Amino acid sequence: MKIYGVTGWKNAGKTGLMERLVTEITGRGITVSTVKHAHHTFDVDHPGKDSHRHRVAGATEVLLASRNRFALMHELRDEAEPTLEELLSKLMPVDLVLVEGYKRDRHPKVEAFRAETGNDLIAPGDPTIRAVASDTPMELDRPVFDLDDTKAIADFILTEVGL
């Protein structure tokens, strides 16, 4: 599996870019999975539902399945947060895994950037950021794409990973 990331500060446009890239790349017949890092506690389950009750009762893993999808929830309890590499090993094989977040990991990335957030670019100090997708023109030592030019960004990523 090929791995490529989309990173950036909060409200930089990462999730919108990820969504557009998945649509663009899968539209070309390439299989894609995604990994999203959350910096906060989150839950995909609902109190009172059977699967939630199983977890609260102490189950380490709960697999919830229907004819349309399945979800595996793993409670870390006192375990360390899994590394990106460990999480990737749990995915079924696809052509490309797009990773949102994981700024400090060493996979290649595109940085999403919006000037209005007031944050500095990450790219100048990070060689794993191979390009920037920005809402404002800028000159850098690597490619800069318009944040909304999904086709060009997808072309760049697919060329980078050899797809």
What pTM did the predictor assign? Answer: 0.91
Rounded distance, CA 18 to CA 34, Å? Answer: 9
pLDDT means per 10 residues, the chain with 163 residues, are 97 97 98 89 81 89 90 89 94 97 95 96 97 96 98 98 98
Rg from Cα positions in the chain = 18
CATH number of the domain located at residue range(s) 2-40+81-161 in this protein: 3.40.50.300
Per-domain residue ranges of the chain: 2-40+81-161
Res 120: pLDDT: 95
Q: Which of 158, 125, 126, 130 is nearest to 143 (CA)?
A: 130
